[in-house]
Structure 1
Amino acid sequence: MSHDVLHFEMGAWLMVLAYLTSVVGCTLGLACTLQARHARAPKIRLAWLGLAALSIGGTGIWVMHFIAMLGFSTPGMPVRYDIARTILSAVLAVAAVFLGLLAFGARSRFSWWRLVAAGVITGLAVNLMHYTGMWAVQVKGEIGYHAGLVLLSILIAVVAATAALWFTAATRRLVHRFLAGLVMGVAVTGMHYTGMAAVRVNLDMAAPDPAGVEVFSFLFPVFVLAAIAMAVPICAVLMAPAPGERDEEPPAGTPEPHAPARSGIAVR
């Protein structure tokens, strides 16, 4: 039978916590992306993009998703999570975000087609993580989706992710970079709750209790590990020069702009 589910069993404050978690991860990840765009060495650029993908995909998307899922329940019925699928959703989130950021952050020069490609891939990465994470959800019955709301969730993620990346590239002002994180947080959180609104649960009272673990069993240690892991990109961003400073330094051997023209007489 079709059954209503709860998305805010612990209260609406959980949505605020999930959004703030996403904003922190996305803001830091976009800051790493900006550093990547101004890095000269390819290996350094890839390292920055890897940190960005870990921050956005790991904390901004994956951790946010399971914080929000604390409010999901089927009243009177158990909800469990398949650990292997849960881990897979984390790996896919980081890998897919990395591909999206690679399209955008591999070059310092702005390109509209790169922005659009990165926005589409990154937005789809949000959806990939969400629906893979929902694949891990086990209930006494089956979970289905409303097709129209699923498509809307994809559109929200792609548009907002593209806007966030544009804010990241359009300006170097700190306030705009923070705004990019807020917009990216909207992409992730808005997509999540739109996707959850699409959920249709058909419970079967005769079905066996679902296998797996409760979300509380793995979320707390994961949240602690995520906080520790975030220390790496935070320290990297704080210690790195401001974006664009490298471009202001003249390459070695280049005369200063005010240096007098050489006329065959050595200038000492």
Structure 2
Amino acid sequence: MGQWLLVLAYLTSVVGCALGLACTLQARNAATEGRRLRWLALAAVSIGGVGIWVMHFIAMLGFATPGLPVRYDIWRTVLSAVLAIGAVFGGLLVFGVRAGFAWWRLLVAGLITGLAVNLMHYTGMWALRVKGTISYQPGLVVLSIVIAVVAATAALWFTVGLDRLLPRLGAGLVMGAAVTGMHYTGMAAVRVHLDLSAPDPSGTEVFSFLFPVFILAAIAMAVPICAVLMAPGPEDRTPEAAPAPEPAQVP
């Protein structure tokens, strides 16, 4: 089951990230500021909500303490989704502009977006409750941060000026690798200290809220998918009007 969950989690992340990066490209080509912000909002929901948050909870289906309950704090779980979408939006706001490419924008956006992946993961883990305590190995936590930032930066770099499907898909594969790689590195850092004498943890089982999460994820993907499909391609965009020729001089 663990290997199937790994594949499903990765594919979910790839779809969400590739769709979000496609929206980011549309934002860079948007004609007005309002359209640019709407595209970036769709991108943040796709990447932060689906590519990061939904992927996290698919992967967490494989986490268990045999014979002992595992619960989740709903409000902290919701907070992790809000933080993921908000942080990704902030990173894309830096990078998803119409202005020409600038390395500082790419590096800052990659840093913010990579940290958004980590922020969601560790906030989501904060919502996790077991019969005992959870701690982390610092070295692997640092490594998970580095993986997310480097791969997120590379994925954003792939979107610069790319109007074709294969480069977009490649960027999604890279960013999906960032999210899943960070997740499983972060999980390798987890140290669970079970205490059989501790009270049973309060909260909700993960299977109790997976169905509404998948419904929301389907809606979150349907809207940007329709928007991207309906958006004009590079050959269909209206070119800027050329200046009118000067009237001929009558001798």
- Normalised-by-shorter TM-score class: over 0.9
Identity of aligned residues (%): 73
1:101 to 70, 88, 92: 92
Task: Give TM-score scaled by structure 1 length.
Answer: 0.90
* Secondary structure, aligned partner of 1:144: strand
* Secondary structure, aligned partner of 1:232: helix
Matches within 5 A, 1:1-268: 10-243=1-234, 245-246=236-237, 249-251=239-241, 254-255=243-244, 262-264=247-249
Mapped to 1, the partners of 2:249 and 2:165 lie a distance apart of: 47
Change (3 A) 1:36 1:244: farther
Mapped to 1, the partners of 2:148 and 2:235 lie a distance apart of: 29
Task: Name 1:7's counterpart in structure 2.
Answer: none
Aligned 8 A contact 1:38 1:108 in 2: no
Mapped to 1, the partners of 2:196 and 2:51 lie a distance apart of: 36
Structure with larger Rg = 1
* Secondary structure, aligned partner of 1:205: coil
Aligned 8 A contact 1:35 1:243 in 2: no
Aligned 8 A contact 2:50 2:220 in 1: no
Gaps of 5+ in 1: 1-9
Gaps of 5+ in 2: none
Quote how far apart the aligned CAs of 1:202 are: 0.8
Deviations 1:203-261 (A, max 9, x none): 11110000001100001211122102211101100001124753x6122x634xxx7x7
Deviations 1:19-72 (A, max 9, x none): 000000000000000000011210100000000000000000000000000000
Task: Give TM-score scaled by structure 2 length.
Answer: 0.96
- Point out 4+ residue stretches in structure 1 off by more than 4 angstroms: none
Task: Name 1:5's counterpart in structure 2.
Answer: none
* Count of aligned residue pairs for this structure pair: 250
Aligned 8 A contact 1:38 1:244 in 2: no
